[in-house]
Amino acid sequence: MVPITLVGPKPLAYEAREMLNGIIASKTSKSTQRVRDIPVHVLPFVIALKDNFVAWSANLSFDTTAREITVSGDREAVVQVVDAVKKAVSDLESSIRSLKTSIPKRQHRLLTGIYADTIMAESRCAVFVPGPDEGDEVIIWGKQSDLPAGLGAVINQATSKHIREFTLPGPASSSKHLATYLDRSHYVKTLRNNYFGVDIFLPPPQANTGTLSIDLIGDESEVDAIVEQLTELIDKLKGATRGVTVDWLLHRAITGKNAKRYLTFFFQPCFLSDLVIHRLKQLHDTHNIQTYFPDESLESSEVILVCDPLSTTAITLEEKKKHLDDAEKELVKLARDIADVRTQKISVEKCWHEAILGTGGTTLNA
């Protein structure tokens, strides 16, 4: 049982309680249960059986990260579906086997996501690829009689499309800046729209060391066309990027509500003076610099500056360096000027939070 608190004028609170009790009474025939900790190699097979389970008029949702299934609907149906799922998990654990085979690392892209679903549909087998820093060996799971077909499906799928790696020029820090720009400027999104038959995979944001590359999968002629465009863009980006260290705790203050007009990425509102907003605008307008702040969850203090390569005005390496130097000085000075920003937490009972915020945050803003 979970306690529910009603806050408001006393007569209305009592009225709301009666209404709430009515809703609860009407819902007692409904139920929600979860089947948790499903073995990772069993989960794809359970998901493949989902059509068998919905025959009981229950709704199923799958959380592959948590390895659990949520079942909701009529109480009787939920109990039946949960029992059926648990039995399926038990039967699969005892009946499926595995085999391993080596597939070149770059072809692993063709064995995940929708490609893995294709393998399951064709062979009733699931395939698992190792992490980016692990080896080439993939694991195929299925019933003993299905494993030969699963192996064939994996090999066919891994060689079904043209794959090409586009290596971003180093050092590692520079290639990371380039990857950030390609993602955050929506350049890659535009490429995907123009070449919708090609899958484009950027390196993950947390990649910090080693050679970074973009994986391109699709028709060879379209892949070659994308490589040509990327090559031209990367050439324009030569000497046009720089990482500037600004304490990540200050990022939220710098990229406040009004700064969203001038910065490519911004966080939740933090109210700044008009002077700060004006200086941020100058950083963009005067120096033609795009500014990319990292995702707050990374707790990274590196802000990436990029001299816009898509500008109609071609500039030399010396001009790029001057723009980056000036923009860096301005950004560092701006961070220094607001470095006295502090965060203070105030404990307020949760039931009052909505009243403090007000409609659309208007009360708190005021």
Q: How many helices and strands in the chain, by DSSP H and E? A: 14, 12
**In the chain, what is the straight-line distance between the N-terminal and C-terminal CA atoms, in Å?**
38
**Phi, psi dihedral angles at 269 (to 5 degrees):** -55, 135
- For the segment(s) 10-95, the CATH number from 3.10.20.340, 3.30.70.600, 3.30.2180.10, 3.60.10.10 is 3.30.70.600
* pLDDT, averaged across the chain: 84
Judged against a pLDDT cut of 70, whether residue 269 lies above it is answered with no
CA 141 to CA 44: how far, in whole Å?
A: 10
67's CB contacts (< 8 A; 6+ apart) are: 36, 37, 38, 39, 40, 43
Q: Alpha-carbon distance 51 to 46, whole Å? A: 10
pLDDT tens-place string over residues 68-79: 999 988 888 888
Q: Which pair of structure tokens corresponds to residue 197?
A: 């038959």
Per-residue pLDDT averaged across 115-121, rounded?
A: 93
Tokens of 277: 């907003």
Given this model, what pLDDT does residue 122 score? 93
Query: Is the pTM for the entire model greater than 0.85?
Result: no
In this structure, which amino acid lies at residue 64? T
Tell me the per-residue pLDDT of 185-234, one tens digit each, with 9 for 90 and over. 889 999 999 998 898 988 877 666 667 889 999 899 999 999 999 999 99
185: alpha, beta or left, given left = phi > 0 and alpha = psi -120 to 50? alpha
For residues 337 and 5, the model is more confident at 5
Once rounded to an integer, what is the mean pLDDT over residues 165-190?
89
Q: Torsions phi, psi of 64, nearest 5?
A: -70, -30
CA distance 219 to 71: 41
pLDDT in tens, 250-268: 877 777 643 433 333 333 3
> Per DSSP, what are the bridge partners of residue 96?
143
Q: What percent of the chain is predicted at pLDDT more than 70?
A: 88
Q: Residue 366: which pLDDT band, with cuts at 50, 70 and 90?
A: confident
CA-based torsion, 262, 265, 268, 273: positive or negative: negative
- Decide which of 360 and 283 is more confident: 360
Which residues partner with 33 through β-bridges? 71
For residue 326, CA distances in Å to 142, 178, 251, 329, 339 come to: 60, 20, 19, 5, 20
Mean pLDDT of the region 331-358 = 83
The domain spans of the chain are 10-95, 103-158, 162-236, 241-337
The class that CATH gives domain 162-236 is: alpha beta
In whole angstroms, give the CA distance from residue 48 to residue 1.
34
The strand ranges marked E within the chain are 30-35, 58-63, 68-74, 96-102, 126-128, 137-143, 162-167, 199-201, 213-218, 241-245, 289-292, 302-307
pLDDT of residue 277: 58
Report the C-alpha gap between 250 and 265 in whole angstroms.
Answer: 14
Pairwise CA distance, residues 261 & 256, whole Å: 10
163-184 mean pLDDT: 89
E-only strand ranges, 8-106: 30-35, 58-63, 68-74, 96-102
